[in-house]
Structure 1
Amino acid sequence: MAQKLTTDEKILNAFSKLLEENGYTETTTKKIAQAAGVNESTLFRHFKDKEQLVKELVQKYMSDIDTANAGFIASGDIVSDLMQVAEIYNQFVETHKALFLIGMRDSFQFPKLKEMIIQLPMKLKKILISRMTEMKRSGEINELVNVDITAANYITLILGHALIQNIYTGTGLDISQTDFVQKNVRNFAEYLK
Structure 2
Amino acid sequence: MDKTRQKIIDATMNLIMEKGYASMTTKDIAKYARVNESTLFRKFKNKKDIVLCAMEENWHPHLSSDDFYPISGDLYHDLCHFACVYMSKVTPQFVKISIGLRSPELFDDTAEGIMKVPQVFKEVLIQYFLEMQKLDKIIQTDIESLAVAFLSMMFGFVFLKASFDNQLMTVSQESYIKNSVAVFVKGIEKV
Deviates more, 1:56-65 or 1:16-25: 56-65
Q: For 2:63, which of 58, 62, 65 is the aligned residue?
A: 65
User: Is 1:107 aligned to 2:102, yes or no?
Assistant: yes
Please give the secondary structure, in 1, of the residue aligned with 2:141: coil
CA distance in 2, matches of 1:109, 1:175: 35
Over alpha carbons, which structure has the higher Rg? 2
TM-score calculated relative to the size of structure 1: 0.75
Unaligned runs of at least 5 residues, structure 1: none
Aligned to 2:9: 12
Q: Which amino acid aligns with 2:129?
A: M
**Separation in 2 of the partners of 1:139 and 1:47?**
54
What is the Cα deviation at residue 6 of structure 1? 4.7
Q: More displaced, 54-63 or 125-134?
A: 54-63
**In 1, Cα distance between the equivalents of 2:67 and 2:135?**
20
The 5 A counterparts of 1:46-85 are: 46-60=43-57, 64-66=62-64, 69-70=66-67, 72-85=69-82
Alpha-carbon separation, structure 1, partners of 2:52 and 2:3: 18
Q: Do residues 192 (structure 1) and 188 (structure 2) align?
A: yes
2:24 aligns to what? 27
Query: More helix per residue: 1 or 2?
Result: 1
Q: Deviation of residue 162 (structure 1)?
A: 0.4
What is the DSSP-based 3-state SS (H/G/I as helix, E as strand, rest coil) of the residue aligned with 1:170?
Answer: coil
Offset from partner CA, 1:85-140 (integer Å, 9 cap, x none): 1112222122x71x421434663765437724233322322333233333333444
- Deviation, structure 1 residue 45: 4.2
Shift of 1:177: 0.9
Q: Percent identity?
A: 26
Distance 1:131 1:33 in 2: 46
Give the RMSD, CA atoms, in angstroms: 3.1
- Partner Cα distance (1:123, 1:42) in 2: 37
TM-score (norm 2): 0.76
Distance 1:120 1:54, change over 3 A: farther
